[in-house]
Each structure stands twice: as C-alpha cells, then as structure tokens.
Amino acid sequence: MSEALTGGCQCGAVRFTVSGGRPPVYACHCRECQKQSASAFALSVPVARDRLTIEGETATWQRLSASGATTTCHFCPRCGTRLYHESSRSPERITIKGGAFDDTSWIAPQAHLWVSRKQPWVMLDPDVPTHDTQPEDLSAWRDGLVGDWR
C-alpha cells in the first residue's frame, strides 16, 4: 500500500491528494510550457482523473493545442499557481504540474519532449530519452512510461 501524494498551490487555498502509486513524470520544453510555467520547461505528472481529490476551487483557462484538442488549465484563482491540465483528447487522464507536489524528491523526468525548443543552458542527462518534438500519439506514449498513472 502506498501513501497518498499531496500538493497544492503557493498560497494554500487549493490543496490536492493523489491516491495510489507514484505516477510517471516527464518534462516538456515547448514554448507553451515555457509560458505556462513562466520558466524554462514544464514538469508533467499524468494520473487517472479518479485518483485526484481537490480541496478548494480552481479557476480555468482553455487553449487549443497544436493537435486540435482543447486543453483546460486549472489554477488557483488567488495566487495563480498552475495545478493541472486536462485534455479533451484523453478525458480519463489529467496532468498535474510536478512542482505543485509537497514532496518533489521523486519528481525526476523520465523523458524530455520538445528539446528542439529547449533553453541552451539546460543540460540533460544523456541516459534520459529525448524527443525533438513530441510523440505522434501522446496518449499511447504516456501509457508506455514507467510508473502508475492509472
């Protein structure tokens, strides 16, 4: 039995719990993720929607992804911390932002997407797989990652 993973926004108005085992983690260096994180890359932690329990209200903003899917982005209405994303393409799964977990010691990406847009000073572990852009079928690719998203 694994302990629940907890997290929340910067101000504490929104808290969340993820039940079950540790999900996979990957990084994305695309421009959207740089904007979204207001940093160099985003850390994505995909989990099944029914594993997530939220306390507090999130606000949302939607954008159209390059593939034509709608991404709904959830964030704290008070402090603005981005907490998780959901895609119309895979409604059974959400993607939590890695830095939002309380314990981030296990948050290490097992793959890097969009390294063609990576900041040149970000040095990657040569043992971690990279993609110039992203896999054609992102859903199927995520199914193959190590970890327990279901």
Interface with Zn ion by CB under 5 A: which range of 30-38, 59-67, 84-92, 122-130?
A: 30-38
Query: CB of residue 138 vs Zn ion: minimum separation in angstroms?
Result: 10
Which of 4, 64, 79, 108 lies at the binding interface for Zn ion (CB under 5 A)? 79
**What whole-number distance in Å separates Cα of residue 113 and Cα of residue 27?**
6
State how far the Cα of 67 lies from the Cα of 140, in Å rounded to an integer. Answer: 15
State which of residues 18, 25, 30, 45 lies at the interface with Zn ion (CB under 5 A).
30
Smallest gap, in angstroms, from Cβ of residue 2 to Zn ion?
A: 27
By beta-carbon proximity to Zn ion, the closer residue of 20 and 54 is 54
Q: Among 18, 33, 43, 100, which residue sits at the site for Zn ion (rule: CB under 5 A)?
A: 33
Which span (19-27, 31-39, 97-105, 139-147) binds Zn ion, by CB under 5 A? 31-39
Q: Which residues make up the interface to Zn ion (CB under 5 A)?
A: 9, 11, 13, 28, 30, 33, 76, 78-79
